[in-house]
Amino acid sequence: MATKKNDIELAAGLRTVVTRLVKKLRQQTPEGSRLSLTERSTIGLLDQHTSLLPSELAAMEKVTTQSMSQILNHLSELGLINRSSSATDRRKAIISLSKAGQAVLHKMRNEKDEWLHEALRQTCSARELDLLRRALPPLTRLIDFE
C-alpha cells in the first residue's frame, strides 16, 4: 500500500530524473547552443501557434514585454522570425517563424530525438522500453494538470 511518504519520494525522484533528462537533452543540440532557453521555447511556441503578438508570447513565456522584445530582437537578428503588421491594427506586430527558424527548430528536435533514440537503444531492454511506452500517457496528463 502506497503511503504519502512513498508518494512524495516518487514525486521527488520523478522531478529529479525529468530535470536531469531535460538538461541532458539541451546539451545534445549544437544547433541550439546560440539560443537561450526562452528563445528556444519562443520559436517552439511560434511553430505551434503559427503567429502571435509579442504580448501573447511574453504572457506564454511568463516574461515582461521588455524581455520579450529583447528576445525577439535577437531572434530577428539571427533571421529566425518574421515581423509583419496586423491587418486590423497596423501598430501591432505579428510574429511568425521564418523558414530559417523552422529549419533550426526542426534540426534541434531531430538532434535531441536522435540522441535519445540511441540512448534508449543502448541502455534499455525491450521490457523497459515497453514500460516507458506505457508511462507516456500518465506523464502526459501531468503536463495538463493545473
Residue that is written with C-alpha cell 505551434 in the block: 48
Q: What is the pLDDT of residues 31-79, one digit of tens each?
A: 777 898 899 999 999 999 999 999 999 999 999 999 999 999 999 999 9
Q: Which fold has domain 21-144?
A: Arc Repressor Mutant, subunit A (1.10.10)
Domain boundaries, the chain: 21-144
Contacts of 41 (CB under 8 A, 6+ apart): 61
83 within 8 A of 68, measured Cβ to Cβ: no
Rounded-to-integer distance, Cα 29 and Cα 21, Å:
13
Task: Record the pTM.
Answer: 0.79
Alpha carbon 22 to chain centroid, angstroms: 10
Rounded-to-integer distance, Cα 73 and Cα 47, Å:
18
